[in-house]
């Protein structure tokens, strides 16, 4: 089943999306994240979706503004593609290769759950940035609470998947990571989720014998194909990522876990690192980025001018007096 959140006639709705794009709104449901907490699992969500098919249909997707399918409780973004690490590390840090520690665990960072945009929203340039980049990812969504999960247990906690674009201000990211923290402001302005939440059962036919989802990934800028990869080139499965995320803590309904950026043009910075120059160039206002994931759908966002940064003073060199 596919679920969409949308705005129509100034009201928010959550609906099941039929193959022809017809929306079947769930009565009295305006938040998919809230519904996930109430249904606590895939069977409950599918039952709620099936009930909506018994009522008259709503509008077509072409007649509404699609919103992010859910408002995440948290967003963990992993880095699970070797090819991406090689290229971006060379581009951002000027260092070649993949650090040996990367292979030890599926590393992630937390990004901003309050800066999530819909599948067709304009994306503002982060204040102070002139080197904006896209990142083609798939995100898993948690539907049941769990703690210290094994990978086999984690599969029952993943309720579905969606396309994820982790917009990145590479100049801000490079500067702040020299301090030994981040990425922070380099990733803080926007993430795209959409167009739908596709329930986990829908994607089982794509699972290979090693447990990876073999989905084709495509990135386009202004209609030109920039990157193509397979999701199955990840070095960890989503179940292994959820297991690691739950270690010593909880994952809860509405948590989003990004796969990390795919290789072979999954972002511009990877290509810049490989080519030694910014070709293709950084994104600018008016550029449109379209990311497509087999079995899930496409998101297409146009870059818009952003706000000017509010000036701040440089850090003070203090005297280090003591009381």
pLDDT in tens, 256-288: 999 999 999 999 999 998 898 999 999 999 999
Q: What CATH number has the domain bearing residue 90?
A: 3.90.850.10
- In this structure, the answer to whether residues 32 and 162 fall within a common structural domain is no
Instruction: Provide CB contacts within 8 A for 104, sequence distance 6+.
Output: none
**Distance (Å) of CA 109 to CA 26, 172, 252:** 34, 16, 17
Q: How far apart are the first and last CA of the chain?
A: 64
Say if 321 falls within a structural domain: no
Residues 48 and 154 in one domain: no
| DSSP category for residue 9 | T
Q: Is the pLDDT of residue 55 over 90?
A: no
pLDDT band with cut points at 50, 70 and 90 for residue 84: very high
Q: Is the pLDDT of residue 93 over 90?
A: no
Contacts of 221 (CB under 8 A, 6+ apart): 134, 280, 283, 287, 288, 289, 290
Indicate if 106 and 174 belong to the same structural domain: yes
The predicted model gives 6-17 an average pLDDT of 96
CA angle at 202 for the pair 199 and 203, rounded to the nearest 5° = 100
309 belongs to a structural domain: no
- Domain co-membership, 12 together with 132: no
Total number of domains in the chain: 2
Asked whether residue 164 falls in the same domain as residue 288, the answer is yes
**pLDDT tens digit sequence for 185-237:** 999 999 999 999 999 999 999 999 999 999 999 999 999 999 999 999 999 99
| Domain that includes residue 51, residue range | 2-67
Among residues of the chain, what percentage have pLDDT more than 70?
Answer: 100
């Amino acid at each position: 089943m596919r679920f969409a959140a949308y705005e129509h006639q100034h009201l928010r709705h959550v609906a099941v999306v039929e193959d022809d794009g017809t929306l079947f709104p769930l009565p009295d449901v305006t938040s998919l994240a809230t519904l996930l907490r109430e249904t606590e699992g895939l069977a409950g969500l599918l039952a709620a979706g099936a009930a909506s098919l018994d009522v008259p249909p709503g509008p077509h997707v072409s007649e509404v503004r699609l919103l992010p399918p859910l408002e995440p409780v948290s967003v963990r973004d992993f880095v699970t593609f070797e090819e991406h690490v090689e290229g971006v590390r060379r581009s951002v840090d000027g260092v070649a290769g993949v650090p040996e520690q990367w292979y030890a665990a599926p590393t992630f960072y937390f990004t901003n759950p309050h800066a999530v945009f819909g599948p067709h929203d304009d994306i503002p340039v982060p204040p102070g940035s002139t080197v904006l980049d896209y990142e083609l990812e798939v995100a898993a969504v948690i539907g049941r609470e769990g703690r210290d999960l094994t990978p086999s247990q984690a599969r029952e906690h993943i309720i579905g998947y969606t396309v994820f674009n982790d917009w990145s201000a590479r100049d801000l990211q490079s500067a702040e990571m020299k301090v030994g923290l981040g990425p922070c402001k380099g990733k803080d302005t926007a993430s795209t989720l959409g167009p739908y939440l596709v329930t986990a059962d829908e994607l089982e036919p794509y699972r290979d014998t090693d447990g990876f989802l073999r989905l084709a990934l495509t990135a386009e800028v202004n209609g030109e194909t920039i990157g193509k990869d397979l999701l199955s080139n990840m070095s960890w499965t989503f179940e292994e990522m959820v297991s690691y995320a739950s270690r010593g803590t909880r994952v809860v309904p509405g948590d989003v876990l990004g796969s990390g950026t795919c290789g072979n043009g999954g972002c511009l910075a990877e290509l810049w690192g490989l080519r030694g120059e910014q070709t293709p160039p950084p994104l600018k206002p008016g550029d449109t980025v379209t990311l497509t994931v087999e079995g899930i759908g496409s998101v297409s966002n146009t870059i818009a001018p952003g706000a000017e940064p509010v000036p701040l003073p440089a850090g003070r060199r203090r005297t280090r007096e003591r009381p």
